[in-house]
Structure 1
């Protein structure tokens, strides 16, 4: 498949991409049918089902593309209707409660002379969310067919094989956004802490089955799962929120005291070190499960696929902590943590007495492709974190809007830069 970023930013370009992805099927949909399908789903997004916005996933695939046996968590369960149903905005609205957004998809395919028809419901299970929500278990078998998410009013997202290929929001089309968790900046800002933690454990506490560098990289991957889970829980709450990462230790406490009024502050005791304690236990346990001479890829697969009871227990504790953090973010104001992911406080009012007029949006993970951004178009959460990053170069902030958009904000070479994160 061609580079996903080359998707033309209009409906015609998206229709052409979808047709290209379905080209192997001799009875595949025409451009006209695909265009009408996109318009129908956009219309469905504007409807209400018992007072709630319609939210659904729709997969474009023939009925014979899925086995009659099998199902979640590792596969898919296809329920085929005895008679197909019209593919209309109202029919998607009616089916959306039965095809729960996070667990199932409405399945459509064209019938000659009749256009698209709804032939069934595909139960995928929720593991596909692990790619963005931080779950440990793998997503299971891939689905090599286009899936369109009716996410919110006037908001469609186009996926292929769990990769975002485009977005139709309001009157505008966008290419795929970035997975900010793959950014070099996020990796580099926390690298010294990961290495320090591994050095602390290396003297007889870590099995020698992995190198120290691999243990540090493993800690990075597991940490990203935690932050993804926190952010996704806040997004799914519909409330929005923000979290800022300050330098560790006294430097972070001083920065918080100088710039942030936290209504609720936390004691800096051993209980506040729960995240690093759990992280150490997790990577130690993975090391014990790894064979001698193991590499990072094998260790990561062991983390994702192991049915080890102790690792399951640690994962449950880890993600319960993520839920706790997401609950703290429900209080108005920012949650403030240091780079060790230890809570300093929450309900924080950022009181930097400095206006920020110049902010850039990064269009690549390295932050080398930038464009100017209109700060006045943003809300108070974003502007507050912009101001904090302008005076504290080591700070990284995540802001989740009520409409589920996610941004990572940082100071890069004395300039405030943000990345728009991919969402589902």
Structure 2
């Protein structure tokens, strides 16, 4: 495969924007933008890697279509007293002050088509928490598109939550594989999800569970999202890591055994409280508010209020559990979870040495389009996970590379399969927009 460059990303992103009836800047301007960001990503500032987000926002009309109701936490552009040319040096310097988790640089072109940094945008934290699956709703983002330095040699372009494309070292990535939403990985995880769904249904009762037909799908999404949040947490450390989901200890040498079920229990209680709180709220609206009645029974109001408070507290607990588990990846070795997401150990070494007889890389979530996998092209984490999953067909492994890629591995159709660049964030592929 031929190497890709920032110009290739610029060409792809521009085509995506044109397809969405936008009037993007010239290809030369986009190429300069992505080249500057790419070369800045190769630098360091105060011994730290560079990371920042920019939004292409027209200075003369930064907010062309404001909503009728402006919420208190909506973004706002604060212009710099003097704008700056968009150069590698300026981007590197500003990156220390503009953390992409909470801030965004506003960029536009001047009358001579030169890129300029003209302002800073606040409130980006709400977008970041949504993408990291820590919030349920996505706020709007300013500008025609956004671009992010995600890691060394890795930049990506978005239109809010729509992935327009990314460049990882010398590879142009046009979409992310939905391996967690379809295919063999999803099928194996669904065995645990169904047990989780049945447990929640038993706790709340059939009548409450069936009041809304979306609960099975919502619970599945919550379970998968919790796993994704741990992977996102590992990815943020930028040192690599791995998670193994398996009920078998065969071939594992744990350095630190630790029984920890709080994540699974918090997820269970959060789901139960969500269903009960929704039922109370629906009853209040259906029987009282929608009929214009002024009085609501005190016990009903208190039940809804108490469950709402407990739900918020439990979701905070769940976030703490996710962060706790992700931090365990900083020790050499993988994190071992059983099929119920109970932690068994961390710092785990895989002792299986037999190479898989057949290993492939999947080109689609279903694993039906594949190419032969060369074990020598992957590091120790990947090779050991491939060996384990080949020997333990019911297991599912995830490897987070230092270069930022997240890969899934499992056994399917008589071979061990690796899915590259899987989707773990709350993003949508641009190419699949209409079907998704």
Relative to the length of structure 1, the TM-score reads 0.83
In the superposition, relative to structure 1, how do residues 320 and 73 fare at CA in structure 2: closer, same or farther (>3 Å)? farther
Tell me if 1:318 matches 2:318. Answer: yes
Tell me if 1:52 matches 2:51. Answer: no
Query: 1:289 pairs with 277, 294, 319, which one?
Result: 277
In structure 2, the partner of 1:278 is 266
In structure 2, the partner of 1:35 is 31
CA distance in 1, matches of 2:141, 2:100: 17
Larger mean CA deviation between 134-143 and 64-73 belongs to: 64-73
In structure 2, the partner of 1:5 is none
Deviation string, structure 1 residues 79-107 (Cα, Å, up to 9, x no partner): 12243221211111121122212111211
Relative to the length of structure 2, the TM-score reads 0.80
CA distance in 2, matches of 1:165, 1:107: 19
8 Å CA contact 1:73–1:124 kept in 2: the answer is no
In the superposition, relative to structure 1, how do residues 374 and 198 fare at CA in structure 2: closer, same or farther (>3 Å)? closer
In structure 1, the partner of 2:133 is 134
CA distance in 2, matches of 1:31, 1:202: 54
- Secondary structure at the aligned position of 2:166 is classed as strand
Tell me if 1:65 matches 2:62. Answer: yes
- Secondary structure at the aligned position of 1:329 is classed as helix
Question: What are the ranges of 5 or more consecutive residues in structure 2 without an aligned counterpart?
Answer: 283-305, 426-436
Number of residue-to-residue matches in the alignment:
393
CA distance in 1, matches of 2:75, 2:111: 26
Query: 1:16 pairs with 7, 11, 14, which one?
Result: 11
In the superposition, relative to structure 1, how do residues 137 and 73 fare at CA in structure 2: closer, same or farther (>3 Å)? farther
In structure 1, the partner of 2:341 is 341
In structure 1, the partner of 2:367 is 367
The structural deviation recorded for 1:56 is: 1.2
8 Å CA contact 2:4–2:170 kept in 1: the answer is no
CA distance in 2, matches of 1:365, 1:320: 31
In structure 2, the partner of 1:80 is 79
CA distance in 2, matches of 1:366, 1:415: 13
The structural deviation recorded for 1:203 is: 4.5
In structure 2, the partner of 1:196 is 195
In the superposition, relative to structure 1, how do residues 417 and 62 fare at CA in structure 2: closer, same or farther (>3 Å)? same
Question: What are the ranges of 5 or more consecutive residues in structure 1 without an aligned counterpart?
Answer: 1-7, 247-251, 295-305
CA distance in 2, matches of 1:234, 1:199: 30
In structure 2, the partner of 1:116 is 115
Deviation string, structure 1 residues 359-414 (Cα, Å, up to 9, x no partner): 22222222222122221121111111100110111100111122332111111112
The structural deviation recorded for 1:315 is: 0.5
In the superposition, relative to structure 1, how do residues 423 and 199 fare at CA in structure 2: closer, same or farther (>3 Å)? closer
CA RMSD of aligned residues (A): 3.1
CA distance in 2, matches of 1:230, 1:137: 17
CA distance in 2, matches of 1:319, 1:153: 27
In structure 2, the partner of 1:381 is 381
The structural deviation recorded for 1:157 is: 1.4
- Secondary structure at the aligned position of 1:121 is classed as strand
Deviation string, structure 1 residues 164-217 (Cα, Å, up to 9, x no partner): 222223333232222443234343223343333443454563473432974333
CA distance in 2, matches of 1:311, 1:21: 40
The structural deviation recorded for 1:128 is: 2.4
- Secondary structure at the aligned position of 2:393 is classed as coil
8 Å CA contact 2:245–2:396 kept in 1: the answer is yes
In the superposition, relative to structure 1, how do residues 72 and 325 fare at CA in structure 2: closer, same or farther (>3 Å)? farther
In structure 2, the partner of 1:260 is 252
User: Which 4+ stretches in 1 moved above 6 angstroms?
Assistant: 67-73
8 Å CA contact 1:335–1:348 kept in 2: the answer is yes
